[in-house]
Amino acid sequence: MAADSSFDIVSEVDHMEVDNAFNQTDREIGTRFDFKNTGTKIEKSGDKFLIEADTEDRAKAALEVFRDKLIKRTVSLKHLEASEPQLSGKIYKISCEFKEGISTENAKKIAKLLRDEGPKTLKSQIMGETLRVTSKSRDDLQDAIALVKNHPWEFAVQFTNYR
């Protein structure tokens, strides 16, 4: 009798790639002619990022540079949560955070999709911030991955521990 195959559905950020994107953004803001001598900067403290500029448009432009660098480093923008520019004194500030993990509610949505539209041999189990999908057939697991990947979620999904 063959053992069940499985994979996990997760929503994780590659922090090394985010750091690389941050460093590239910092370098570009320091060298680009439209940001020169404007006081525009991006700072990192822990897992939070802060963009500061003297005008709202420059702050938004710096955020766009950061987004472009994240895309080039294959970090999904669905992870990025950026606030609207807030005026603090004479400086506009945008705070950015990265959200990770699949909430129980979202895991239930994925499980329901797999139950309703996926192969009937699939079993799903919520384990904290991951969703484990098991089946006897590896082909059914491949179909499940394709189904979840092609669905328009408001959060990013990755597939790990394929066995």
Model pTM score? 0.84
Q: Tell me the backbone φ, ψ of residue 81, rounded to 5 degrees.
A: -120, 105
- Dump pLDDT digits (tens) for 50-72: 999 999 999 999 999 999 999 99
The pLDDT value recorded for residue 162 is 82
Cα four-point dihedral sign 40, 45, 49, 50: negative
The pLDDT value recorded for residue 71 is 95
Percent of the chain with pLDDT over 70: 98
- Dump pLDDT digits (tens) for 85-114: 999 889 999 999 999 889 899 999 999 999
Q: Closest Cα to residue 8, out of 124, 103, 143, 100?
A: 124
Go through the domains of the chain in sequence order and give each one's CATH number: 5-12+102-160 (3.30.70.860), 15-98 (3.30.70.990)
The pLDDT value recorded for residue 118 is 85
Give Rg (Cα) of the chain. Answer: 20
pLDDT at 3 over 80: no
